[in-house]
Amino acid sequence: MTLQTTKTHIVHGGTLRYCRHDSAITGTPMTLSVFTPPGEGPFPVLIWLSGLTCTEDNFTSKAGAYRAAVEHGVIIVAPDTSPRGQGVADDDAYDLGQGAGFYVDATQAPWAPHFRMESYVTDELIALVDAGFPTTKTRSVFGHSMGGHGALTLALCHPELFQSVSAFAPIASPTRCAWGEKAFTAYLGDDRAEWVKHDAALLLESGAASGVYDDILVDQGDGDQFLTDQLKPELLKAAADKAGQKLTVRMQPGYDHSYFFMASFIDDHVAFHAARLKG
């Protein structure tokens, strides 16, 4: 199980690699980007999880995160959002199937054989990066939209793996929005008790990872077209307040759901994580 570099770029003095490997967990080729700052290291790692329809290239080419990564001396890893390829189940809609893995391990046909993104990130991806790059074997996780949901739920369910977590416009409570209900029904079945294990607001409310994270940072644009129907950050805030978990939600005036929003505040998130990874 090795990473193959398919192309390389120098960015702000660091090295950006696009990579692929054959995944034992998804049973498919998987792609990702890895940015390493200049120097010998070792460096802590930031894992970025992207949203619906994205590949590893959306964050890599649009977020503008690498100047801050050099400043703070962190590696940034951005995997694809789902397994892909011939023989991998798919759907005509943008919010299910390839490009919409939701960072869960599917239990239902036809998704179960390949759609195992929770295990892919927490087991395989972390091990690959630690084996292939000069890491401190410490890491944090952040993401956007579906990837914000993934970052929050993976951090809450696997607190031993991550030093900190943040999100841009996360799907705060997928059991209570159309995107989540559709995906969870397909991937996990009709038993809503299984859904709760992948709902950040409900996990927070239950006290998941209580006392582990000193703060959780969430940025949300108030001009986001999905704010009211799909994202519902108020549910996340209410859950954190109930559980006594510090959660900083910054409502950013006028910002939408695009990478223009993320590029505007990505430096804050890199600095947020770097302080906790090195503190």
Q: Kindly report the backbone phi and psi dihedral angles of residue 156, in degrees, each rounded to the nearest multiple of 5, phi listed first.
A: -75, -35
Alpha carbons 26 and 44: distance in angstroms, whole number: 26
Return the closest-CA partner of residue 147 out of 103, 110, 183.
103
As a whole number of angstroms, the distance between CA 38 and CA 268 comes to: 21
Task: Say how far apart CA 84 and CA 156 lie, in whole Å.
Answer: 27
> 114, 257, 269, 273: which is the annotated catalytic residue?
257
Active site includes 224? Answer: yes
Token output for 8:
């390389």
| Contacts (Cβ under 8 Å, ≥6 apart) of 223 | 253, 254, 255, 256
Given a contact cutoff of 8 angstroms between Cβ atoms, the answer to whether 52 and 179 are in contact is: yes
**Residue of 184, 190, 183, 148 lying closest to 166 (CA atoms):** 148
Which residue of the set 145, 164, 166, 173 is catalytic?
Answer: 145
145 assigned to active site: yes
Which candidate in 149, 224, 269, 273 is catalytic? 224
68-263-214 Cα angle (round to 5): 65
Residues with a catalytic annotation lie at 145, 224, 257
